């Protein structure tokens, strides 16, 4: 590959959005280059611990404390067991890739082809009409340039390809999608649903909508209910770039993938104002290369994208490309949260077999369609959770006995434990931002990204409310005692970082227009989480995918019409 | 397959044997997806070849000496005795813990653990005039119960791993928790007390305990 290779399109990043951009661009006839900063990972072949049984886990599965402290001080703190012996190899080496935390921020990121599509939680929800209206209504954040109707057909398009299992609920505030059959709820989850919906008529509890296939779909096998998805899945039973979008792009014969390629900057042509090339550092050789294309999609994950845009400085863009407004890097949001768990008495004669790769979901019920009189905060939250029997790792830690009785007790399925954890919408604020620290050089001699993001009073109040509501609902289902826990008090923990290159109607208040096009740079598109103007309450990835497919459709039409 | 040091501390690499025998992971997966003879395939010795293997790494600390191993072996069997299912000894738990002492614990933790075993042995010599390993099951259990009663713990955790990682965990709990961990991750416990189902195939949400009284492990 020469360093002046001309492509029709370049996609920076190969994760959830990069894979979608690659698929759509190649299927529409464009010769496309995907640049991935991480190393190559091959579907199936490189899921090295996928079938390692517990008795072959190194150190019995206990953390490698020295290694983690040295190389993974941030990644190893990821919650819910998503980092460990089975998949450490997918996460980024923090020592080699430092960033600055002006305030505590956990930046969880992978460093492999496929990105976080390999390790994500796969919860897949549509935004609702109110999510797009919220900024305009209450004045926090700028008005979204699109509405639910703009995205609805693209949600359907994406869902049909990736495969989302779920239960239709027929609610306007929680739009249904193109669903595969839902996973079943456990008896205690059904009891929880009944108790909650009987007491609060406006609340809904349903099984988690998840990008795991409950039946064979698009050449991929159905979910085998192992629930070890973040090791990688050779069955292709959950959506990842490696199992679905990149193979689809590959099948067109128009895809080139270049891994180990750290993007330094995007160049613009002073004559036309258009983006003309992407400058890359080969992470293995240090070699610098330049690739040219007619259209460029930046899908490098929220902070990865912002870093690249900020680094793309030129006479025309002295503060980074698309940053004439000083909005670039600002209005970052994530999901805060608190939760509660409790033992639900009874049901001891029922059990389940297999491991479900999802939980339950409760769509937002606070401040819907107006401010609730008893709420001292703006906007709301959704709950995720579940009810399962305690397993041996928990029951063993809650006892200190020994002998034959202990052996029997720990082996048996434990008591039923129900859990509800909130994802609270964070208000967009200008002071929550990332910048480049040119004085401190990070990986590959590039300026370090400096993250200055914190939760505020509104998030704190919402967390308190979410805890109270979780407690009330668990008690309604028969729990005697509820333990409340702070869940997501440090930003980054939810791995839902969004914003920084937000979409908007006014170029003075936003970086992107309603088509994810950088204001003033018509052939440059940004479609990952950085495009978000607010966080909503549901998990964001499905929205990123819909935005990406929609933006490619527009970009290719414009290109063919000679307007890019 | 019994737990051994060799299996415990392998780094993942590709298994050359699987290729030589002409059966690849992909072939196995294809068979599994097709639903063919799932349990049979997976429980056979051949399936073990499909799993990734790797070489053992070097030890950082010395392991346990024979005297300490004898105390550990006896203590492990008191904590998880043989019943109608294998006990800690058959499951290879002492070897597992010895390997943790050598490869995983810090020097301070290894010393704390060795000292704890020595103190347990000393308590047996003082009360029963013989080493802990020579005590009768009743004597060994009596000393263990006493150790338990004299081991207050103020911590509160939600997972066994968290408690094992807690530096404030007293020797009794450290010993007991490592034995429990080693036992329940062993192949023996995974196939007798628990049910190791690497590929359950589907999630069945509501089964009577009478027909399925197990925890599914993967």
Using CB atoms within 10 Å of the CB of residue A457, give its burial: 0 to 12 exposed, 13 to 18 middle, 19+ buried: exposed
pLDDT at B3 over 80: no
Q: How many CB atoms lie within 10 A of CB A3?
A: 13
pLDDT for the residue B127:
98
pLDDT for the residue A369:
79
Strand A330-333 vs strand A498-500: parallel, antiparallel, or unpaired?
antiparallel
What count of CB pairs under 8 Å joins A to B?
211
* Residues whose CB is less than 8 angstroms from the CB of residue A187 and which lie 6 or more positions away in sequence, other chains included: A347, A350, B205, B206
Q: List the structure tokens of A113.
A: 């082809």
pLDDT for the residue B63:
87
- Per DSSP, chain A holds a count of helices (H) and strands (E) of 11, 22
pLDDT for the residue B61:
78
Min Cα–Cα distance to chain A from B173, Å: 7
DSSP assignment of B55-83 equals PBPPPSS----HHHHHHHHHHHHHHS--S
Convert the pLDDT of each residue in B197-215 to its tens digit. Answer: 999 999 999 999 999 999 9
Q: What percent of chain A has pLDDT over 90?
A: 96
For B195, the 3-state DSSP assignment is: strand
pLDDT for the residue B22:
36
pLDDT for the residue A443:
83
Q: How many CB atoms lie within 10 A of CB A42?
A: 11
pLDDT for the residue A81:
77
pLDDT at B173 over 70: yes
Min Cα–Cα distance to chain B from A134, Å: 38
* Best of B24, B84, B183, B202 to mutate (most A CBs within 10 Å, chain A): B202
CB A386 within 8 A of CB A418: yes
Distance of alpha carbon A370 from alpha carbon A134, whole angstroms: 10
Compute chain B's Rg from CA coordinates. 20
pLDDT for the residue A4:
59
Q: How many CA atoms, within 13 angstroms, populate the side-chain half-sphere of residue A318?
A: 1
pLDDT for the residue B59:
65
pLDDT at B5 over 90: no
Convert the pLDDT of each residue in B8-55 to its tens digit. Answer: 333 333 333 333 333 344 444 444 433 333 333 322 232 233 323 333
How confident is the prediction for chain B on average, in pLDDT? 80
Convert the pLDDT of each residue in A180-214 to its tens digit. Answer: 999 999 999 999 999 999 999 999 999 999 999 99
Q: Answer with the residue of higher pLDDT: B28 or A450.
A: A450
**A79-100 mean pLDDT:** 94
Distance of alpha carbon A539 from alpha carbon A181, whole angstroms: 20
This model of the complex carries an ipTM of: 0.94
pLDDT at B1 over 60: no
**A84-113 mean pLDDT:** 97
The nearest alpha carbon in chain A to B208 belongs to A350
pLDDT at B57 over 60: no
Convert the pLDDT of each residue in A476-487 to its tens digit. Answer: 999 999 999 888
pTM: 0.92
How confident is the prediction for chain A on average, in pLDDT? 97
Band of the pLDDT at A5, cuts 50, 70, 90?
confident
Q: Which of B104, B64, B106, B69 is nearest to B89 (CA)?
A: B69
pLDDT for the residue B157:
75
Closest residue to B206, CB basis, from A63, A187, A407 = A187
In chain B, what's the furthest Cα-to-Cα distance? Answer: 63
pLDDT for the residue B49:
33
Strand (E) or helix (H) holding A264: strand A261-268
Out of A141-155, A237-251, B39-53, least confident range: B39-53
CB A323 within 8 A of CB A310: yes
Q: How many CB atoms lie within 10 A of CB A352?
A: 21
CB A278 within 8 A of CB A439: no
Residues of chain B in contact with residue A400, where contact means CB-CB under 8 angstroms, are 148, 151, 153, 172-173, 176
**A523-528 mean pLDDT:** 98
Band of the pLDDT at A31, cuts 50, 70, 90?
very high
Closest residue to A44, CB basis, from B13, B25, B172 = B25
**Is B199–A226 a contact, with Cβ atoms under 8 angstroms apart?**
yes
């Amino acid at each position: 590959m020469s360093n002046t290779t001309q492509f029709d399109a370049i996609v920076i990043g190969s994760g959830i959005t990069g894979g979608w951009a690659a698929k759509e661009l190649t299927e529409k006839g464009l010769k496309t280059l995907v640049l991935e900063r991480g190393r190559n990972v091959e579907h199936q072949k490189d899921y090295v611990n996928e079938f390692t049984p517990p008795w072959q886990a190194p150190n019995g599965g206990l953390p490698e404390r020295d290694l983690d402290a040295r190389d993974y001080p941030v990644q190893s703190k990821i919650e819910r067991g998503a980092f460990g012996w089975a998949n450490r190899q997918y996460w980024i080496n923090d020592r080699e890739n430092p960033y600055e935390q002006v305030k505590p921020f956990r930046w969880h990121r992978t460093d492999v082809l496929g990105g976080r599509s390999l390790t994500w939680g796969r919860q897949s929800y549509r935004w609702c009409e109110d999510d797009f209206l919220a900024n305009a209504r209450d004045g926090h954040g700028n008005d979204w340039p699109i509405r639910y109707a703009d995205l609805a057909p693209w949600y359907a398009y994406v869902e049909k390809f990736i495969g989302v299992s779920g239960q239709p609920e027929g609610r306007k505030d929680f739009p249904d999608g193109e669903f595969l059959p839902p996973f079943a709820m456990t008896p205690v989850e059904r009891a929880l649903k009944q108790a909650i919906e009987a007491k609060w008529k406006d609340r809904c509890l349903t099984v988690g909508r998840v990008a795991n296939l409950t039946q064979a779909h698009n050449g991929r096998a159905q979910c085998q209910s192992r629930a070890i998805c973040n090791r990688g899945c050779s069955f292709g039973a959950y959506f990842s770039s490696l199992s679905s979008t990149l193979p689809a792009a590959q099948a067109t014969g128009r895809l080139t993938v270049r891994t180990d390629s750290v993007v330094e900057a995007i160049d613009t042509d002073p004559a036309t104002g258009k983006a003309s090339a992407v400058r890359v550092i080969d992470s293995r050789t240090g070699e610098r290369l330049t690739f040219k294309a007619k259209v460029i999609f930046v899908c490098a994950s929220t902070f990865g994208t912002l870093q690249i845009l900020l680094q793309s400085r030129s006479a025309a863009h002295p503060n980074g490309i698309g940053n004439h407004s000083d909005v670039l890097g600002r209005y970052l949001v994530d999901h805060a949260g608190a939760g509660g768990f409790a033992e639900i008495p009874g049901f001891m004669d029922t059990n389940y077999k297999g491991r479900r790769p999802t939980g339950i979901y409760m769509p937002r019920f606070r401040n819907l369609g107006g401010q609730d009189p008893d709420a001292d905060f703006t906007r709301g939250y959704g709950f995720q959770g579940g009810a399962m029997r305690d397993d041996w790792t928990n029951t063993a830690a809650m006892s200190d006995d020994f002998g034959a009785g202990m052996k029997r007790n720990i082996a048996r399925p434990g008591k039923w434990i129900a859990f509800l954890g909130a994802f609270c919408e964070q208000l967009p604020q200008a002071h929550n931002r990332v910048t480049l620290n040119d004085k401190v050089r990070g990986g590959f001699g590039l300026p370090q990204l400096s993250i200055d993001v914190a939760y505020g009073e509104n998030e704190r109040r919402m967390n308190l409310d979410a805890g109270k509501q979780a407690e009330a609902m668990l008690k309604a289902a028969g729990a005697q005692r509820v333990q409340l826990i702070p869940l997501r008090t440090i930003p980054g923990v939810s791995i839902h970082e969004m914003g920084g290159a937000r979409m908007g109607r006014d170029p003075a208040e936003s970086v992107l227009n309603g088509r994810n096009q950088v204001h003033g740079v018509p052939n440059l598109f940004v479609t990952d989480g950085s495009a978000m103007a607010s966080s909503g309450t549901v998990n964001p990835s499905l929205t990123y995918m819909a935005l990406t497919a929609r933006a490619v459709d527009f970009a290719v039409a414009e290109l063919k019409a000679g307007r890019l | 397959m019994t737990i051994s040091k060799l299996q415990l501390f392998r780094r993942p690499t590709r298994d050359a044997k699987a290729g030589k025998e002409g059966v690849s992971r992909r072939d196995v997966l294809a068979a599994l997806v097709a639903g063919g003879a799932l349990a049979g395939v997976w429980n056979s010795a051949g399936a073990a070849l499909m799993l990734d293997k790797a070489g053992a790494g070097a030890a950082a600390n010395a392991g346990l000496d024979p005297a300490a191993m004898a105390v550990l072996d006896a203590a492990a069997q008191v904590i998880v005795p043989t019943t109608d299912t294998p006990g800690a000894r058959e499951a290879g738990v002492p070897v597992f813990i010895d390997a943790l002492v050598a490869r995983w614990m810090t020097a301070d933790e290894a010393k704390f653990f060795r000292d704890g075993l020595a103190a347990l042995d000393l308590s047996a010599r003082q009360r029963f005039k013989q080493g802990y390993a020579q005590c009768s099951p009743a004597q060994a259990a009596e000393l263990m119960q006493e150790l338990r009663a004299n081991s207050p713990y103020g911590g509160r955790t939600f997972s066994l791993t968290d408690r094992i990682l807690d530096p404030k965990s007293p020797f009794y709990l450290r010993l007991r928790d490592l034995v429990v961990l080693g036992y329940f991750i062993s192949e023996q416990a995974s196939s007798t007390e628990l049910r190791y189902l690497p590929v359950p195939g589907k999630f069945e949400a509501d089964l009577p305990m009478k027909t399925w009284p197990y925890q599914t492990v993967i």
